[in-house]
Amino acid sequence: MSRSDFLKRALSSRVGISHQLAHYILGTNVLNNLVDDYIVMNQAGLVLELCEKYYDPNVIMLNNGQVFAKSMRESYDKQKGFIGTIQKFTVKLISKKIIGNVSELVFHYKMTGYDSSINQFTGKHIQTWEHDKIIKEEYVSI
């Protein structure tokens, strides 16, 4: 919910602004904690574990505008194959932004394969959350 929608709703509500504000803040704090845990798991290289923990079974995932996966299981299986080729995984958080139920995370990745090849890239994850799960994720290379 945008801030302007929140204010309009709260001001017109019989419940009052204090109840609406408390609900909005509580929801924001919960999402912030979930996103922080997601970040920690990603930085620790626990990609498969965070997939199971945070992605809705019917998540839609896009990679640079193309459908990557139409379910958590499909995403897990694709990432499992990739993760198996990585010897060392370094992830640095560049930025974090949360507006309503959408988080925007930018990470810089550096991965060393078992063949000693190094792959570095920066990507933005735009995640839509519902009921403590990611229901849609758009990954964009930047």
Interatomic CA distance for residues 31 and 26, integer angstroms: 9
Mean pLDDT of the chain: 87
- The sheet that has 102-113: what strands, in order across it? 66-69, 55-63, 133-141, 118-130, 102-113, 86-99
Taking CB atoms within 8 Å and a gap of at least 24, the contacts of 56-60 are 56/130, 56/131, 56/133, 56/134, 56/135, 58/135, 59/133, 59/134, 59/135, 59/136, 59/137, 60/135, 60/136, 60/137
- Is 22 or 120 the better-scoring residue by pLDDT? 120
pLDDT value at residue 73: 97
Percentage of the chain lying above the pLDDT 70 cut:
80
Percentage of the chain lying above the pLDDT 90 cut:
75
Report all structural domains of the chain as residue ranges with CATH numbers, in order of start. 3-141 (3.10.450.50)
47-62: per-residue pLDDT in tens? 999 999 999 999 999 9
pLDDT value at residue 29: 86
State which amino acid sits at residue 31: L
pTM over 0.85? The answer is no
Contact between residue 38 and residue 50 where contact means Cβ atoms under 8 Å apart: yes
How far, CA to CA in Å, does 55 sit from each of 36, 83, 91, 106? 15, 17, 19, 18
Q: Does residue 23 carry a pLDDT above 50?
A: no
Helices then strands (H, E): number in the chain? Answer: 4, 6
50-96: per-residue pLDDT in tens? 999 999 999 999 999 999 999 999 999 999 988 889 999 999 999 99
26-43: per-residue pLDDT in tens? 456 899 999 999 999 999
How would residue 11 be classed by pLDDT, with cut points 50, 70 and 90?
Answer: low
pLDDT value at residue 2: 60
